A and B are shown apart, each in its own frame.
Chain A
Amino acid sequence: MNIGTRVPMTDGPPKVTGQAIYADDLRLPNMLYGKILRSPHAHARIISINTSKAERLPGVMGVVTGKDAPAKYGILPIGHDETAFSIDRVRYVGDEVAAVCATSEQIAEEALELIEVEYEILPAFVTPEEAMGCEDESLWLHHDRKRNIEKQYHHHFGDVEKGFQEALDSGGAVRFDKYYNPRVTHVPMEPHACVANWEHEGKVTLWTSTQTPHYVHRTLAVVLDMPMSSIRVIKPFVGGGFGGKSETFTHEVAACLLAKKTCRPVKFNFTREEVFYAHRGRPEQYVELKTGVAKDGRITAVEAKVVQDGGAYCSYGVVTILYSGALIAALYDIPNIKFDGYRVLTNKPACGPMRGHGTVGVRFGFESQLDMLAAEIGMDAGELRLKNKLKPNTITVNDLRVTSYGYDKCIEKVMEASDWRNKRSKMPYGKGVGMAGSHYVSGAANSIIRSKLPHSTVSIKIDYDGGVTVYTGAAEIGQGTETIHAQIVAEEMGIELSRIRIVAADSALTPVDLGSYSSRVTFMAGNAAKEAARDIKMQLFRAAAELLGESPEHLVARDEKIFPRDEPHRSITYQEALLACIEQGGTLIAKGTYTPPPESQGGSFRGAGVGPGVAYSYAAQVAEVTVDPETGLFTVDKIWAAHDCGRALNLLTVEGQVEGSVWMGLGQAVAEEQIFENGKTMNPGLLEYKSASSLESPPIETFIVETIDPEGPFGAKEAGEGSLAATIPAVANAIYDAIGVRINDLPLSPERILKAIEEQKKRS
């Protein structure tokens, strides 16, 4: 039995010994080093590019520019607005213009300075208002995106006006508030890196630090104008992603182009500064929320307007804006929802998916507002949340299918653990507790490129040596997918974990998995792995059945033995069954697939494809803070976090994911912000972009809530994202409890707290 225990990550030893090979650790013979020339302007026309001086610099082996890769691409089929290099226009400070490769990094850097680019500077749009207000078509970032609006959606489910009226008529409350979320970014500790090797005969191999090798593979085929079968994409160890490595980046294309040009391996390794330009983080967003609560605590209606500053390219932007609306639902029972969402293009680095994708900004606002509404109707904030719980197996008003649901259990857990009832509103001035909840899809039910293809396939091979090799396209990025694959296969087959070897994320060897995004891997690749394991187990059972004189259906496998159910003494060993099986038909091979059930895939309105998950995870948290009203400085003393992950396949990694999410949410609550001046990032470094150290991080106590999802592998759902969004409003609500002021703009800085205290004093 390994499911439900604390299994240390199976890929732990190479990580703790320094043996793990990340992209920048790869060294191929005769390798060259690449560097990217980036735009110094937020918005400019490219008049000319002259690379001849750079090309003449001794040691420079190749230079590429926009004309070498003119094909447009983008992660979303409706957002093909990027080229590997800017061709006629740069759209943000950091936009890629050219790349060089040379015999050393230093020479490559020198060469960049020799590339002459003549720009005609254009006015830059650095806020959504400016961008949307532009009537001059020639200045729009992309000519087919009118007034720089990438996409807008207007959804109305039920009747919000009726809902608000009902709240008021019952003697309840209706509030309208505005919330601001700055742009934040993933900051994986490993900067993006890749190595490309040109193998003559028109074949290329790319090792790259990515969460989505399959989508990189697809895009490379388009941009390099090569068949997918001639491209091999391999994901080595990845030093964190959090959403920031979920699509094709210029350096990946550049490495392949330059490898082809020079017939030598080419490596790119981002500087830390470049990671901030590559970005694809969480957009700055302006959230307006109106919520009605009846006297008895029922939420009667929610109306939301969300404007996201998406930066210069679409990336996942359409998905982000849709999530922000769709996932207003599926946490609470809300009968009426109206949503107006605008994704706007500006002259800043493009935003993309980041942990808790799309949900975090609205959740901060909503959970803050709910806290105020609870006070207005005189109800405890925890009770109010419990009052609005959903029932399992529900279809929401916007057609999301909720299967298992443990939010209420999460709330009860953190209320109890934090001693909520004795603390809320009862602590001395300057100390307070706050609560909030959140949820997330456990795998998007619709793939990025809509098709009938499976979302995951996993295959297994067993040979004479008795080792079980599991082939999966799933991308381990530190969250533990390889461990989960191994555990699921071992559990299903009744064998030791140590028999299992994982071969992962190599397009030439492993079947397709769509990637590590939308918290889909445990659920989808996990189900595929389970199915493959079951198939191969049945092959063993058929051979064992002959030896045991039993029918295969009556056999079970446990502790490396196969025996008739209830007759463990009549067992044969796994190895005996295996040899019998191989004698009959040679090496054992099996596969399993996962395709989301159609009933999980949502409604048919425009934009209905985003929001449906094959299941949803749930989270509730209580934060306790101490605020110094003189300075505005505060500490988060502790966070109690409960997470419904369906079933915890691995307690250690589930806790790790929850702790990591809470911590990342906390960073966004208190300090993180990518700051811009006229479109230029002002803090592109780890010192300036304030990532909390161990000393600044509070203890986090995690509680796992299990609901055994009917469709998850062994009942499991996601654990890696759902907890993040709750942390921010939990802290904001705790600050309110401590000193009675509301901060609706993030981060919750001492300056903002002091200002709010002053305003409070003025009012009273």
Chain B
Amino acid sequence: MKKELVTLTVNGEEKTLATAANRSLLNVLREDLNLTGTKQGCDDGDCGACTVLLDGEPVLSCMMLAASADCREVTTIEGLAREGKLDRVQAAFWTEGGMQCGFCTPGMIVSSYALLKRNPDPSEHEIRDALSNNLCRCTGYTKIVTAVQHAATFEEFLDKQS
């Protein structure tokens, strides 16, 4: 198969790679860039485990060709923690029990992160709605909702951690 040259800015780092035109962004992130934090739960657009941010918007990376992310900014779960400190959404998922097995968690956190960026004070319904493409089989979502609510009020977390 013909390869294309694709340039992605992933978590702030520019990467140029040659890839077959039919490969998904998920596949390239995991296999070529070794960013295995983004998970594959179905490879079919049904579970949300592969959610990443593309120019700040959550997308299912399994449903997207790597080539169509050319010259765009990709943020994965690995890109959220800064200077050894967890992002508030990561911290809240941890302390509020928003994850159990952790497999849906990177996608959940990325979706929640995007939600709080566009809506800093979401209602429970808005949270459930924003996460409705992210399946979880462990938690029953109760503590995921709490975690996002908590993250929304978590301004002081970064200070507390340092």
Contacts and interface: CB of A to CB of B under 8 A. Distances in A.
Contacts of A15: 94, 99, 102, 105
A8 B95 contact: yes
A8 B97 contact: yes
Given A9-B97, A694-B144, A17 B137 contact: no
Q: Which of B38, B133, B140 has the most CB of A within 10 A?
A: B140
A12 B30 CA distance: 21
B137 A691 contact: yes
B120 to A, nearest CB: 19
Q: Which of B80, B91, B102, B144 has the most CB of A within 10 A?
A: B102
B97 to A, nearest CB: 4
Contact of A240 (B95, B97, B106, B137): B137
A240 B41 CA distance: 11
A715 interface: no
Interface in A658-694: 659-660, 662-664, 666, 685-687, 691, 693-694
A88 to B, nearest CB: 34
A17 B43 contact: no
Interface string B38-76: 111111101101000000000000000000000000001
B86 A272 contact: no
B34 interface: yes
A652 B99 CA distance: 11
A693 B136 CA distance: 8
B37 interface: yes
B46 A189 contact: no
A652 B97 contact: yes
Contact of A18 (B38, B136, B137, B143): B38
A268 B13 CA distance: 31
A706 interface: no
Contacts of B143: 652, 655-656, 659
A188 B76 contact: no
Interface in A456-513: 477-480
Secondary structure type dominating chain A contacts: loop
Given A694-B131, A694-B132, A700-B142, A479 B94 contact: no
B86 to A, nearest CB: 7
B103 A189 contact: yes
Given A656-B143, A695-B128, A189 B99 contact: no
Given A18-B106, A694-B131, A663 B97 contact: no
B90 interface: yes
Contacts of B78: 17-19
Q: Which of A15, A24, A191, A662 has the most CB of B within 10 A?
A: A15
Contact of B44 (A186, A272, A656): A272
B150 to A, nearest CB: 12
A211 to B, nearest CB: 11
A615 B132 CA distance: 38
A180 interface: no
A17 B37 contact: yes
A728 to B, nearest CB: 15
Given A479-B100, A693-B133, A13 B94 contact: yes
Given A18-B77, A186-B137, A660-B139, 8 more contacts: A9-B100, A16-B86, A18-B35, A24-B36, A190-B39, A240-B137, A686-B44, A691-B135
Interface of A: 6, 8-9, 11-22, 24-25, 27, 186-191, 237-240, 242, 269, 271-272, 477-480, 652-653, 655-656, 659-660, 662-664, 666, 685-687, 691, 693-697, 699-700
25 contacts: A9-B94, A9-B97, A12-B95, A15-B102, A16-B94, A17-B80, A18-B106, A187-B137, A188-B101, A189-B137, A191-B41, A239-B103, A240-B137, A272-B42, A655-B97, A659-B139, A659-B143, A663-B140, A664-B137, A685-B46, A686-B46, A686-B135, A687-B44, A693-B128, A694-B136
